[in-house]
Amino acid sequence: MRVAEVRRNRPAPSKETVRAALRPVVIEPVSTDLPPETWVQFSRIRQAFLDALPIAAAIISERDGRAAIDECNDRFVALDTYRPTNRPLSITGAAPVAEHLALFFDRYRAASGLPDNMLFEWRDGDDVSGRHFNVTIAPLKPIDGQPPRCLLTLVDRTTEIENARSLRAELLHDSLTGLPNRSAFAEAVDEVVATVDSAVHHAVLLVDLSRFSRINESLGGVAGDEVIITVARRLISTLRAGDLLARVGGDEFGILLRLANGHEDAAAAARRIQSVLSAPFRLARFEVGLECAIGCALIGDESGSGEELVRNAQFALKRAKTTGRVEVHHSGEAACARYKLDLETELRRAIDVGDLRLAYQPIIDLATNRISGFEALSRWAHPTRGNIDPGEFIPVAEEAGLIVPLGRWALDTALSTLARWDALAGGPVPLTMSVNVSAIQLARDDVPGVIAAALATHGIDGARLTIELTESAIVQDPERTTRALQALKGLNVRVAMDDFGTGYSSLSYLRKLPIDNLKIDRSFVSGMLQDRDKVAIVRAVLSLADALGKTTTAEGVETIELSQTLAALGCSHGQGYYYAAPLEADAALAYWQAKLG
Ligand code: C2E
Ligand code: CA
Ligand code: CA
């Protein structure tokens, strides 16, 4: 039984006893012309009035410099804090109320008219088990020759406050593990930040369970819950005095760490966590392994709010998910994230208002030294920031889902340029157009459908279009990519594997998928002449392409020597600054025409 219940269940002093003790004082007129019987009448009427009130109420007057109860109702008696001690009755066990009454009577005497009502909150007992009241002291008109009087009323708000408190407790706890949740965790971090003392440091660690959603999906929510509870238990076992564990997300835990020995403690905690989570989890018939990613933010002199610190740890966690290492947040990251967010907003606008352009870089057939086509590359001339590199805005577009409209725009614009060249030349020019398609666009958009429509709109034969895809498209969703590539084959569209050699390509996919061309990544080509390893890689790619019947394009050809060497090695195409940098549409056409002549 809770303390509050004990208190409430204690038998109250009998009302008769209390009332008998309270009564006598009231009816004695101090000085009045009225006969005592009239006072008795008055007193009865007042009593009836007070008894009719739905809240605890008493008429209090000041006698001999103390607040004394003249009349009170049953509800007031039931409060049991007000107990008669001596005569005239004083209010005991309610020091704040007595103090307010004393203050009130001082004002009463000083005021020319009646003083204002006095309102305050009063807690009777301790924070957990006590009762809460809204108290009002309202002046009553003085009666000639009588001391100042007031009406004291108390509204019991205990239930309301307790409900709010338990609701809050519920809101601050995760019901599955009973651990504090994200809000409670941020509050706890806030508290530490507020009282940060340079001698003791703290860190926020976030632990994310990789592959947890797979367990949920394959074994069901109950198994998932079981894993979460086990993880919570194991994590608790790694805690030291002063540490706090919370469940901050579905498969994410937060630990507020006290660093007694500086930053090394955070690293040690991370190792303990990895070690307890590395043991397999037994679920009915299965044994599953879990891996975790850990991000850390240190609480130091310039820490922000609790929420901000948790967010910082999340930046680090995000990085940890790709690097596989424990990552610690660095102060520039938040600014970087904000910049990205700005860029996202501005990019959305740029796509809408047409601030993006395409530049066209020639691709040379090394056997004939003629231009076989152009690669369309996006350009963003930002009104205030200047030219922004695609290496910067393409990843932002991919993250924000803007790559779908951007990719559609690039396809449409590139084909419309090719159609315009045809029109200017008075017939189809013998050029292909290569357009980059992001793996994310391939996964989200109906790329073959979009391409079919664009080809039809601009009257371009599919064979004149090449799609450049990176290996990540195959890795992410091999089936979907296979279907998309087969659909492209149906349109006669060619496919090039971009940045070849930098990603992870399974040879079997390379053989199975309808890929026509391998673009050897610039990192292998540039500096190749000075580096035997690079030459070996380029040779290997060339012979692989040869064996699989695919053409090759070397990226980043910056010198004549490279161009000649690549041609000698059997590379079919080259692209790079040695031939030309990416050009405006008109300049690109002029470049091609000049080369013809
Ligand atoms: P990428 O597809 O590998 O494009 C080749 C990049 O190498 C281009 O950079 C090009 O300007 C640059 N380059 C060409 N020749 C040379 C050279 O000789 N030396 C050096 N150092 N660099 C050379 P850019 O235009 O900055 O594009 C970077 C990347 O952005 C592209 O790499 C591509 O992955 C992506 N990208 C550009 N436009 C688009 C687009 O419209 N859609 C998609 N999805 N990605 C795009
Ligand atoms: Ca490309
Ligand atoms: Ca490339």
Ligand 1 atom with the smallest distance to the CA of 398 is: 44
Query: Which residue's alpha carbon is nearest to atom 8 within ligand 1?
Result: 377
pLDDT the model gives residue 560: 96
Least confident of 26-40, 137-151, 334-348, 540-554: 26-40
pLDDT the model gives residue 4: 36
Task: Tell me the DSSP string of 37-91.
Answer: HHHHHHHHHHHHHHHHSSSEEEEEEEETTEEEEEEE-HHHHHT-S----SSS---
pLDDT above 70 (res 554) = yes
| Percentage of residues in the chain having pLDDT higher than 90 | 42
Does 337 fall in a domain? no
* pLDDT tens readout for residues 481-536: 999 999 999 999 999 999 898 776 667 788 888 999 999 999 999 889 999 888 99
pLDDT the model gives residue 326: 87
Residue 461 CA to ligand 1 center (angstroms) comes to 25
* pLDDT tens readout for residues 403-439: 999 999 999 999 999 999 999 999 999 999 999 999 9
Q: Looking at the structure, do residues 127 and 189 belong to the same domain, yes or no?
A: no
pLDDT the model gives residue 429: 96
Burial grade of 237 (CB within 10 A; 0-12, 13-18, 19 or more): exposed
Q: State mean pLDDT over 293-300.
A: 86
pLDDT the model gives residue 93: 53
pLDDT the model gives residue 90: 44
Residues with CB under 6 Å of ligand 1 are 361, 377-378, 389-391, 394, 407, 410, 436-438, 468, 498-499, 522, 555-558, 575-577, 582
Instruction: Report the run of H or E that residue 119 belongs to, with start and end.
Output: strand 118-124
pLDDT the model gives residue 165: 77
Residue 548 CA to ligand 1 center (angstroms) comes to 26
Ligand 1 atom with the smallest distance to the CA of 470 is: 34
Does 295 fall in a domain? yes
Report the mean per-residue pLDDT for the chain.
Answer: 84
* pLDDT tens readout for residues 412-422: 999 999 999 99
The whole-model pTM stands at 0.55
Q: Looking at the structure, do residues 106 and 191 belong to the same domain, yes or no?
A: no
pLDDT the model gives residue 223: 82
Longest dimension (CA), the chain: 131
Q: Which ligand is nearest to the CA of 409?
A: 1
pLDDT the model gives residue 516: 96
Residue 429 CA to ligand 3 center (angstroms) comes to 25
Instruction: Indicate the pLDDT class of residue 87, thresholds 50, 70 and 90.
Output: very low
Instruction: Indicate the pLDDT class of residue 307, thresholds 50, 70 and 90.
Output: confident
Residue 555 CA to ligand 3 center (angstroms) comes to 6
Q: Which ligand is nearest to the CA of 468?
A: 2
Alpha carbon distance 15, 8 (integer Å): 16
Residue to mutate (ligand 1; options 392, 393, 394; most atoms within 8 A of CB): 394
Domain boundary among 282, 298, 331: 331
Residue 436 CA to ligand 3 center (angstroms) comes to 9
Residue 376 CA to ligand 3 center (angstroms) comes to 12
| Percentage of residues in the chain having pLDDT higher than 70 | 87
pLDDT above 90 (res 17) = no
Ligand 1 atom with the smallest distance to the CA of 582 is: 11
Residue 510 CA to ligand 3 center (angstroms) comes to 17
Does 516 fall in a domain? yes
Does 336 fall in a domain? no
Residue to mutate (ligand 1; options 415, 436, 558; most atoms within 8 A of CB): 436
Does 244 fall in a domain? yes
Q: State mean pLDDT over 549-568.
A: 96
Residue 466 CA to ligand 3 center (angstroms) comes to 13
pLDDT the model gives residue 199: 53
Q: What residues contact 273, with CB distance under 8 A and at least 6 apart?
A: 205, 207, 235, 238, 255, 292, 294
pLDDT above 90 (res 62) = no
Q: What does DSSP say about strands 465-470 and 356-365: parallel, antiparallel, or unpaired?
A: unpaired
Ligand 1 atom with the smallest distance to the CA of 558 is: 18
Query: Which residue's alpha carbon is nearest to atom 43 within ligand 1?
Result: 436
The residue type found at 17 is T
User: In terms of pLDDT, which residue wins out, 553 or 35?
Assistant: 553
Residue 490 CA to ligand 2 center (angstroms) comes to 22
Does 148 fall in a domain? yes
pLDDT the model gives residue 432: 98
Task: Tell me the DSSP string of 352-393.
Answer: HHT-EEEEEEEEEETTTTEEEEEEEEEEEEETTTEEE-HHHH
Least confident of 139-143, 268-272, 568-572: 139-143
| Count of domains for the chain | 3
pLDDT the model gives residue 12: 47
Q: Which ligand is nearest to the CA of 520?
A: 3
pLDDT the model gives residue 330: 73
Q: State mean pLDDT over 585-596.
A: 94
Task: Tell me the DSSP string of 14-48.
Answer: PHHHHHHHHHHHHT--SS-SS-HHHHHHHHHHHHH
Does 562 fall in a domain? yes
Q: Looking at the structure, do residues 158 and 188 belong to the same domain, yes or no?
A: no
Q: Looking at the structure, do residues 301 and 180 belong to the same domain, yes or no?
A: yes
pLDDT the model gives residue 32: 59
Q: Looking at the structure, do residues 533 and 552 belong to the same domain, yes or no?
A: yes
HSE of 105, CA atoms in CB hemisphere, 13 A = 19
Q: Looking at the structure, do residues 451 and 413 belong to the same domain, yes or no?
A: yes
pLDDT the model gives residue 360: 98
Least confident of 195-204, 244-253, 582-591: 195-204
Nearest to residue 236, comparing CAs of 248, 244, 227, 226?
244
* pLDDT tens readout for residues 127-160: 666 778 899 999 988 777 778 889 999 898 888 8
Q: State mean pLDDT over 178-191.
A: 88
Residue 377 CA to ligand 1 center (angstroms) comes to 6
Does 342 fall in a domain? no
pLDDT the model gives residue 375: 98
Sign of CA dihedral 32, 35, 37, 41: negative
Q: Looking at the structure, do residues 429 and 542 belong to the same domain, yes or no?
A: yes
pLDDT the model gives residue 126: 67
Q: Looking at the structure, do residues 239 and 302 belong to the same domain, yes or no?
A: yes
Q: Looking at the structure, do residues 395 and 505 belong to the same domain, yes or no?
A: yes
Q: Looking at the structure, do residues 25 and 121 belong to the same domain, yes or no?
A: yes
Domain boundary among 145, 163, 181: 163
Nearest to residue 127, comparing CAs of 85, 88, 158, 151?
158
User: In terms of pLDDT, which residue wins out, 236 or 4?
Assistant: 236
Q: Looking at the structure, do residues 146 and 192 belong to the same domain, yes or no?
A: no
Query: Which residue's alpha carbon is nearest to atom 23 within ligand 1?
Result: 556
Q: Which ligand is nearest to the CA of 363?
A: 1
Q: Looking at the structure, do residues 13 and 137 belong to the same domain, yes or no?
A: yes
The residue type found at 397 is A
* pLDDT tens readout for residues 324-375: 888 888 766 666 677 778 889 999 999 989 899 999 999 999 999 999 999 9
* pLDDT tens readout for residues 312-322: 899 899 989 88
pLDDT the model gives residue 26: 42
Residue to mutate (ligand 1; options 500, 555, 562; most atoms within 8 A of CB): 555
Instruction: Indicate the pLDDT class of residue 24, thresholds 50, 70 and 90.
Output: very low
pLDDT the model gives residue 45: 84
pLDDT above 70 (res 6) = no
pLDDT the model gives residue 2: 37
Assign residue 559 the CATH number of its domain.
3.20.20.450
Q: State mean pLDDT over 76-81.
A: 70
Domain that holds residue 199: 172-331
